[in-house]
């Protein structure tokens, strides 16, 4: 069984943008609706994945992800996925041994910047970078599955 323990924070400023930060361009669409579970297809630069995720207690979820052909993913996103698609650039930043993923959203979610970090266990001490703002791990509206239904531009 695959499992993920993840915390989410709003990003206060651009001080995380330093030379050498790696980026990944993403487009994703959901094939199901609901908070209890999600099925999505995502392209990441020139690769594609299908992902199945449960929703448990905010920071802990079951997650399964498999690579699929890019061409199939692009067709699914264009012809089947719910609208609007989630479009963002993800930046990878390492802070005190933890790999942070900073999502800068575009399209209907432009203006939203969220940082996520996966943890080895729920009780681990997490040193917060100066650019990490309010924690939103328990706020469903900041999850991509919610942003598809209720985009940031409508808040």
Which positions are annotated as active-site residues? 30
Beta bridge partners of 60: 5
Pick the closest to residue 60 from 120, 100, 128 (CA basis): 120
**Which residues, other chains included, contact 97 with Cβ-Cβ below 8 Å and sequence gap of 6+?**
none
Tell me phi and psi for residue 95, to 5 degrees.
-135, 120
- Residue 40 · residue 63 · CB < 8 Å: no
CA angle 140, 59, 46 (to 5 degrees): 80
């Amino acid at each position: 069984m695959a499992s993920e323990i993840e915390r989410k924070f709003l990003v206060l400023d651009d001080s995380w943008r330093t030379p050498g930060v790696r980026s990944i361009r993403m487009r994703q669409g959901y094939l199901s609706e609901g908070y209890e579970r999600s099925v999505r297809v995502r392209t990441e630069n020139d690769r594609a994945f299908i992902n199945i995720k449960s929703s448990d207690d905010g920071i802990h979820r079951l997650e399964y992800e498999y690579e699929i052909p890019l061409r199939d993913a692009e067709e699914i996103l264009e012809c089947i996925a719910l609208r609007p698609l989630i479009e963002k650039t993800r930046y990878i930043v390492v802070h005190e041994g933890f790999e942070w993923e900073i999502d800068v959203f575009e399209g209907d979610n432009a203006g939203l910047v969220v940082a996520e970090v996966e943890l080895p266990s729920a009780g681990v001490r997490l040193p917060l970078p100066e650019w990490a703002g309010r924690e939103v791990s328990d706020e469903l509206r900041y999850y991509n599955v919610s942003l598809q239904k209720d985009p940031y531009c409508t808040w």
